Amino acid sequence: MTEQRRMRRLEPAAIAGVMSREAANFRTYWKGTTFSSVLEPIVYLLAFGLGLSATLVDEVNGVPYIQFVGTGMVATAVIFSSALPAMFGTFVKHRFQNTYDAILAAPVDVEELVSAEMLWIGIRSGTYGCIPLVVTIAFGLDPAPGMLLVPLFCFVTALGFAGFGVAMAATVAKIDQFNYVTALFVTPLFLVAGTFFPIDGLPKGVQVAAQLNPLHQLVELVRGGAFGFEAVDLLRFAFLAGFALLTWRIAVHQMHKRLID
Amino acid sequence: MAAIELRGVVKRFGPITAVDGLDLEVPEGICLGLLGPNGAGKSTTMRLLTAQAIADAGTLRVLGHELPADSKAARAQMGVVPQLDNLDVDVTVEENLAIFARLYRVPDVGAAVDAALDLSRLRGRRHAAVDQLSGGMRRRLLLARGLVHEPRLVLLDEPTVGLDPQIRTELWTLIGELKARGTTILMSTHYIEEAERLADEVAVMHRGRIISRGHPVELITEHAGRQTAEVYGPPDRLAEVRAEAESRGLPVRPAGPAIAIVGSERGGDSTIPEDAVLRAASLEDVFVLLTGEEAE
């Protein structure tokens, strides 16, 4: 019998319990996810890196184009392994599988549930985000000590996009409304992140807007890790942490509205 | 201390008042059947008890904890078996139980899982994925999941809705075992037979409040008397019989193709047609008389 005791906010045991559920499910589908996460950057690097550098671009700011794209691909891997799983996963668990009803009947609050979902995606995406970097190293990029920070950069960015995805899942009425979210947010953020071309060639207004794109900040941090950090990178990291904090609170708020009558 | 104490609880959804001034007290150690037609407010009441719905008015105490403020502590000692199957279908039986043992902070997860497997008679299927289980096994697992932390109070929300009779009987056996252990149970149902068999007390819920409560036998005696006469025949004749019975103050209710004259022993020989089928008054008679809805 469980003993009488007061329960605190954000209990590690509740968060760990929810994450253990994600981990148990992940064991059933990790092979497919990992396969595509490894294959995708290889295909991109072959198509863009080799294809473009053979014909149009040789290097960007003194960096061989294939290494430029490869380091930028980290951000692509992060957004697609965080925002999309958070959106679809949350929606499916809430609406189709009624998973959250079961979890919230246990001593778990919405805040703990959302935090656990975000942390799990953060860890997963932080890991998968490193794959393009490893692939690029295989394509000739020199390893650098700064790269050891890349998992942390990916983790924090993924937390932010996980929060974004959870908040969106709690906001849309139907699953096909994710098309709007993808077209309005995910694709533009992914394209104007400086992954495939440097943003300093873009019009001034777009350049300023790109500074607000967390994915762009991640791209810059990863390149900092590979080719040398600058002082401004601290600000970039702070921006990503702020983004994660903001989407966390929004996600908790939206999920509370959705899950508690 | 009562396991559940609700006073004047109101819950509205826009223009609809699902729970309307509900008073409900469930003493420790009993199985209370919350019997009511669809839409009576039973499921909303269940959600209020886990703070998945927040009341607009009234006070709620569960196992001594005020809701919603202290609901997490209450939920730690409470097991919930939902109406809808929300098991994790891709993972194994064992993992489904282990995940919830962790969510309930059970110290020895392995032992808790073993006990739950024994209780649900699923030990042999512990490594099977949930989507490989039969409907009856899934239901047993759902029940076992809600009991994995040996809760003091169990909420069963329509535990056998939509199941075939054999699976229903299986579950009734398991719920009976739970009762025998002294666990407090609040069970919502719209199946009369389920309430009759399992509940120590029945509370009839209608339009968001309790309209009658007592031991099934007491409720029958109070509202339906001893005997019910069912009369079959063409509609014209049934209308005549009905008018005659009602003129003598006997309640009459529809019973499928027949009409049922409730408390027919009070009517005298001339009121009850000779071809009427006499049977003991039942909880179903009470239910239909009180709620005006046909029971299942």
- B191: contact with A, CB 8 A cutoff: no
Query: Domains in chain A: how many in total?
Result: 1
Q: Inform me whether the pLDDT recorded for A94 exceeds 90.
A: yes
Task: Kindly indicate the confidence band of residue A120, based on its pLDDT and cuts at 50, 70 and 90.
Answer: very high
**In a domain? residue A57:** yes
Calculate helix-pair angle for A214-227, A150-171, nearest 10 degrees. Answer: 170
What confidence tier does A3 reach under pLDDT thresholds 50, 70, 90? very low
B38-63 pLDDT per residue, tens: 889 999 999 999 999 999 999 999 99
Partners of residue B280 on adjacent β-strands: B227
Which residue in the set A16, A20, A104 is minimally distant from B50, CB to CB? A104
C-alpha dihedral (A141, A191, A218, A136), degrees to nearest 10? -10
Instruction: Tell me if A25 is assigned to some domain.
Output: no
Q: What is the pLDDT of residues A220-235, one digit of tens each?
A: 999 999 999 999 999 9
How many Å apart are CA B232 and CA B291, to the nearest integer? 23
Amino acid in position A3: E
B89 vs A contacts (CB less than 8 Å): 97
Tokens matching residue A140:
């000739």
pLDDT in tens, A148-179: 999 999 999 999 999 999 999 999 999 999 99
Give the pLDDT score at A1. Answer: 42
Q: What percent of chain A has pLDDT over 70?
A: 97
Give the model confidence (pLDDT) of B76-94 as tens digits: 999 999 988 999 998 999 9
Q: Which residues contact A239 (CB under 8 A, 6 or more apart)?
A: A214, A217
Per-residue model confidence (pLDDT) at position B191 = 85
- C-alpha span between A137 and A71 (Å, rounded): 9
CB contact set of B49 (below 8 Å; sequence gap of 6+): B4, B60, B62, B67, B78, B155, B186
- Decide if A7 is inside a domain: no
Residue A2 lies in a domain: no
- Read off the pTM: 0.91
B53·A260 Cβ contact <8 A: yes
Confirm whether A127 is domain-assigned: yes
Strands (E), chain B: 2-13, 16-27, 31-35, 57-62, 65-67, 78-81, 153-157, 184-189, 201-206, 209-214, 227-231, 252-255, 258-262, 277-280
Residue with tokens 């196992």: B63
Structural contact between residues B56 and B12, judged by C-beta atoms closer than 8 angstroms: yes
At B77 the pLDDT is 96
Which structural domain, as residue segments, surrounds residue A85? 12-20+30-259
Which chain A residue has the Cα nearest residue B76? Answer: A107
Nearest CA in chain A to B99: A21
* Alpha carbons B12 and B56: distance in angstroms, whole number: 7
Q: Which two tokens stand for residue B72?
A: 């997490």
pLDDT digits (tens, 9 = 90+) for A32-45: 989 988 888 888 88
**Which residue, among A257, A259, A245, has the nearest Cα to A108 in the 3D structure?**
A259
Q: Is the pLDDT of residue A4 over 60?
A: no
Query: A28 contacts in B (CB within 8 Å)?
Result: 90-91, 129
CB contact under 8 A, B82 and A98: yes
Q: Residue A196: which residues within 8 A CB-CB, separation 6 or more? A: A48, A69, A72
Sheet holding B258-262, edge to edge: B252-255, B258-262, B227-231, B277-280
Distance from CA of B234 to the nearest CA of A (A): 47
- Which chain A residues are Cβ-neighbours of B95 within 8 angstroms? 24
Q: What's the complex ipTM?
A: 0.89
The domains found in chain B, sorted by start residue, are 28-46+80-219 (3.40.50.300), 226-280 (3.30.70)
Nearest CB among B72, B86, B100 relative to A101 is that of B86
Q: Is residue A15 scored above 90 in pLDDT?
A: yes
pLDDT for B295: 52
Q: Report the pLDDT value the prediction gives residue A6, as an integer from 0 to 100.
A: 63
In a domain, A175, yes or no: yes
Q: Is residue A220 part of a domain?
A: yes
